[in-house]
Amino acid sequence: MRLFETTRRAVIAAAVGAAIWGFAAPAGAQTAERPFITVASTTSTEQSGLFKHLLPQFTGKTGIEVRVVAVGTGQALKIGERGDADLVFVHARSAEEDFVAKGFGVGRSDVMYNDFVLVGPKSDPAGVKGSRDAVKALQAIALKKAPFVSRGDDSGTHQAELDLWQRAALHPKADGNWYRETGSGMGPALNTAAAMDAYILADRGTWLSFKNRGDLTLLVEGDDRLFNQYGIILVNPARHAHVKEKEARTFINWVISPEGQAAIAAYRIEGEQLFFPNARRKGA
């Protein structure tokens, strides 16, 4: 079993490299026998600082260490499909439901939500500041051919952005070089946008925690189409027998419990709440 776990860790490391972030218990508390789970999740939950806030509380209560693979939602679901994680914690509802329907995951629970915001240069060449219509804002940006940075990584944020372009009846990739895909996480994509004085769709949590803003500012928010729901799913142990079902369910149950939900609500940056818990239990 120990050899298997070592091999499994090596596979994950080779697949996602430096995307793995460990959150261990306080120094002196860890032993070779400490149980752990692997969570495939999004860059927004990691780069916003949420996991650094949540996971030590869970480990302190249960003794279970949580090792996070922080990638885009699409990649996180693929990791779950391969059985290289015990659960997935992501934000792309239709893709999550498809993951379960195909038998890769067992159940799905809402955990929390935040929203997306449209960020751009203070000079705002497209004149979208103050709008609550994200689709019209994208149409104005495209009309001006103002620089726009896309994550381009099949993440939940990227999928949300593509949905907005579709609603706007536009195909920006085919309309000149003003539209740039980075193929990167939210933080690096924001760095690129700051360097280019470009517009970008970002999740609010990462934006609030982002320090290298340059001339960027929040321009568009409040559109119902910018709602961003997060869900959590156990990787199917019937498909991958090595999945640590007991420990993974312990984490899922804690996250959607009143204690876990309160911990999510308590996470703030400069007094502003980043995520809003909304777990719904059957029969609630």
pLDDT tens profile 203-244: 999 999 999 999 999 999 999 999 999 999 999 999 999 999
Say how many domains are in the chain: 2
- 13 falls within a domain: yes
What integer best gives the mean pLDDT of the chain? 89
Q: Which of 12-16, 33-37, 215-219, 221-225 has the lowest mean pLDDT?
A: 12-16
pLDDT attached to residue 176: 82
**pLDDT for residue 28 is more than 50:** no
pLDDT of residue 226: 96
- Whether residues 246 and 187 share a domain: the answer is no
pLDDT bucket at 30, cuts 50 / 70 / 90: very low
Please check whether residues 236 and 106 belong to one and the same domain: yes
CATH number at residue 104: 3.40.190.10
**pLDDT mean over 68-92:** 97
The per-residue pLDDT for 33 is 72
pLDDT tier at 37 (50, 70, 90 boundaries)?
Answer: very high
In a domain, 284, yes or no: no
Share of the chain above pLDDT 70, in %: 87
> Do the domain assignments include residue 241?
yes
Q: Does 238 share its domain with 98? A: yes
Give the tens place of pLDDT for each residue, 240-281: 999 999 999 999 999 999 999 999 999 999 899 999 999 975
Give me the pLDDT at residue 175, please.
82
Tell me how crowded residue 120 is: count the other CB atoms within 10 A of its CB. Answer: 27
pLDDT score at 6: 45
pLDDT (mean) for 146-161: 95
Overall average pLDDT of the 88-105 stretch: 97
In this structure, the answer to whether residues 87 and 151 fall within a common structural domain is no
The pLDDT of residue 32 is 57
- Residue 177 CB: number of other CB atoms within 10 A? 7
Judge whether residue 25 has pLDDT over 80. Answer: no
Q: Report phi then psi at 267, rounded to 5.
A: -80, 120
Quote the CA–CA distance of 217 and 158 in Å, as a whole number.
20
Predicted confidence at residue 281, as pLDDT, reads 53
pLDDT of residue 23: 43
**Percent of the chain whose pLDDT exceeds 90:** 84
Question: 86: which residues sit within 8 A by CB, 6+ positions away?
Answer: 37, 38, 39, 234, 235, 243, 244, 245, 247, 248
My answer on whether 217 and 269 are in the same domain is no
Query: 283 lies in a domain?
Result: no
Query: Which range is least confidently modeled, 9-23, 107-121, 228-242?
Result: 9-23
Q: Which range of residues forms the domain containing residue 205?
A: 115-226
Q: Would you place residue 130 in the very low, low, confident or very high pLDDT band (cuts 50, 70, 90)?
A: very high
Instruction: Assess contact for 228 and 114: CB atoms under 8 A.
Output: yes
Same domain, 119 and 207: yes
